[in-house]
Amino acid sequence: MLFSELTINENNEYVLIITPDGIKDGLIPTQSLASQASSIENWTIIKFRQPTDYAELSINGVEYPLSDIEIIPEIRKNENIVDVHVFIRNMERDEIGYQHLAFLYFDHVLGEFNTITRVGYIDFHHLDGS
């Protein structure tokens, strides 16, 4: 299953992002659909959520700044994969919602394609004062 996200860029052009919403089985269909897209004036069609230096996200009423996440990576060099321990401040308020938003941050900060193809497992933990 693929999804679309529609935004407007700084040049007032429409941007259509074709995304598998982080699902690995959607890699090939996303690439195929994007490569077949016709060129349309004032439109940009992008496959996958792209990496960005800035992300301020919320989903289903859950929001927290990127600064509320701490990461400890474990690199599997032989496989070019990184496993990640994610610590999120205040996650006890809505564990599933906070985790879902963390996945979205990964897609926007690392880029969705990189997250799907280069991140192995993601293990969530509560981040507290200690």
119: confidence class by pLDDT, cuts 50, 70, 90: very high
Host domain of residue 107: 58-127
Residue 52 lies in a domain: no
Residue 18 lies in a domain: yes
* Same domain (yes/no): 117, 68: yes
Interval 26-67: pLDDT, tens: 999 999 999 999 999 999 999 999 998 877 899 999 999 989
Q: How many CA atoms lie within 13 A of 49 on its CB side?
A: 24
* Same domain (yes/no): 76, 107: yes
* Same domain (yes/no): 29, 90: no
23: which residues sit within 8 A by CB, 6+ positions away? 1, 116
* Same domain (yes/no): 62, 123: yes
Total number of domains in the chain: 2
